[in-house]
Amino acid sequence: CGPCQTFKPTMKELASEGYNIEFIDVDQDNNAAVEYNVRSVPTTVIMENGKEIDRLVGAQTKKKVVEVLSWKDHLKYQTTIT
């Protein structure tokens, strides 16, 4: 989708900065969409110890994502579903 393609470079940049990011294409892995209850894309699911602690829906600015991750400074894992 258009918003996914716009947002993916932002998330790749964050991954290059050391954030643990997994990209999942829900068109290729429909089970992930069900497992993470994704209703629209892109969706960023923020997880800690295997449990969702927050989520962002839609393309976000890098500043917004960093703000959320900084607020959750105990972040262990993040999954982006596009």
Contact in structure between 61 and 2 (CB atoms under 8 Å): no
33 is catalytic: no
Catalytic residue among 1, 30, 35, 58: 1
4 is catalytic: yes
CB neighbours (10 Å) of residue 23? 14
| Residues forming the active site | 1, 4
